[in-house]
Structure 1
Amino acid sequence: MFDRIDYSITMSHRIEIVVPSGLEALARAEAQRIAGLRLDPPTASGVIQATMRGSLPALFDLRCATSVFVVRTFAIPRPRALLGDEHLRAVLAMITMVQRLHPAGTFQTLFLSAAGADSSVLQRFKHTLSERLGLAVGAEDGDLLLRLRPSVRSGWDLLVRLTPRPLATRPWRVCNREGALNGPVAHAMALLSRPHPTDRVLNIGCGSGTLLIERLLIGPAVQALGCDTDPAALACAYRNVAAAGLGRNVLLYDWDAQALPLPTASMDVILADLPFGHLVGSHTTNLSLYPALLREAARVTRASGRAVLISHEVRLMERTLAELPVWHCEQQLRVDLGGLYPRIFVLRRRDD
């Protein structure tokens, strides 16, 4: 772990925290615990506006956030004015401050996201910055991400991402699989399970291990099990679990979620990213899978135990739960996953 050089701690900064739409309440609760961060009243979905009067690297540890930006408004009529000496020096100072929060050489490429980014003015602005900073002009995944937009306060807002990769890009993810659950969403699901050190946790259909890892990074559990019938998924999960430093804490098995070799009432918490019927599975398969899986999950979960499940098959989930009164749905959260809008179902097993 490197020592962060923080040149920002004595200043006040406007901050924009981007979160998956639907998780704003959880993200705000997490952000409120950061010293020096004052949140603005809620406005647009998927965004938290704030003022930071403390160390900016404290924001790097936000787990419900997708990205975090520092924001400055320039009182200018058009972006062309940013090429003037005064404003250009202010932009460079803003970027340099962000660079100094990280070890030298962390940022190699620059990317500008803006309406009209291909215009001659913004092309010149982008290339001027790259020359002054010694960075290559990158593609959409550039290390140094800048956003330019009209400000609601009049003028133009420049946003600089505080980290070279989105916070949602977990460092432990050394193996990825198509359809893998978003890190912030998995973290939110783990929080919704009300984690406790005495938990016995089962992740059904564990895939690449995201839910188990995010749960154990919050705090310990007495037992953490994952199961999947896909050998490639289990191999991927083993790699990610090891990269997260949790190899001794997690046991992974080739188990069918519809017939678990576990004693009745042996688990406290069930976590699952259920097949959406898009990249994984099909709606036809889900018609039989969901009822069988939820019945088996109820069998292995103790009375008053919890299940936190995410699915895009909302009607099927609601119909199945209506037919299985052993589960009480305490909460549903609709989440934006880049054009898909699944729901997180927070369930409690009723007493027999």
Structure 2
Amino acid sequence: MMNQSDVPNSPDGEDNISYDGSACTPLVHDGDDHSIDSNYEDPEIPTISSGVKAMLESVSYDADTIRKEFKTYQDLLPHPDELLQQQHSFHWLREKIQKSDVELPRFLKYNFEGGIKPHHALCCVLLNEYQEQLRLNTQTTETRCVYTSLVRLLSFGFLHPQLNNPASFIRDQFRRVAHAVPTEVVKPPVLRKKIKNRGLPVPNYFLDPEDSKQFPPHIALLVILQDGEKESRKLDSILYKLAFSLFALVALLLRIVLEVIGGAGAIWGGAEVFTLRNSENAELWRWISVGVGVLCFLRFVTLNAPQKEDEGDILGPAGPWSLRLPVRMRAVASHPFHYFVRATPAS
């Protein structure tokens, strides 16, 4: 005999089957129920727009409780950049905390231990922050007004300042879908369906675990909890930002020299090597070189300009900006333009 509460809490946050109360027999759900294109009508589930408080009331778990729990195991966790790089598994984190004789947080417990799914806890914390923002009737403050205006002006309104802090990126993805997120406990497929049915992008940490862009919700939650704490101060350090900004700027200029000016120079120099250019036709070859340089510049922009499809791929918490130093430097050198700007505005 097995009750639903005895079924282990799946570390990836997915429950594709449920169990009845009389036997350990999976109840197969109609596949059409979870289809995005299904005309199956879900029961009305309260969302943030309905004014329901951001609290998992049915299981007596709220954002304050989650943050209080965090203080008990905070010193045991790797730093945010290591968490983001290695994406430690649910089981690894459980064992690390248990070895220190510290009470496990509920989102790292199994169902029979009174556990809560990591994505439920993440929703709880982010919804709490979102509702607090709505209550105060404030918008996300733009701390770089001059930089923002400059980016918008130079890009004719097409580009926006990049979010290089992983916690900021996680919050930004959530704010885009907050009004569609149920405040009651729902399974991940239902959550994704609710978001997609409103034509909204599903945040990386709510994607199916089989999706290559999926980012573990328990890691996203820990990064949010660590934000503003001592272990994450490096990410907000002025010197840290300045160093990477200079590195990205130099990398961008070098790519322009190699991919744009180098193309024009190759035509000019090649014409002389093959004795095609002389004093009589030098002006013609100069214009040919300029024309090739323009084509190289258009190619450079096409390959390097941020696109909306980049979100959650080469950017953000699941992307290179969050990795350990050597890999982060290589990523910024490969995509220096993306370090400064993005295609979508911050929510």
Q: TM-score, normalised by structure 1?
A: 0.23
> Which one scores higher on RCO, CA 8 angstroms, separation ≥ 6?
2
Larger proportion of helix: 2
Q: TM-score, normalised by structure 2?
A: 0.24
**Greater Rg by CA:** 2
Larger proportion of strand: 1
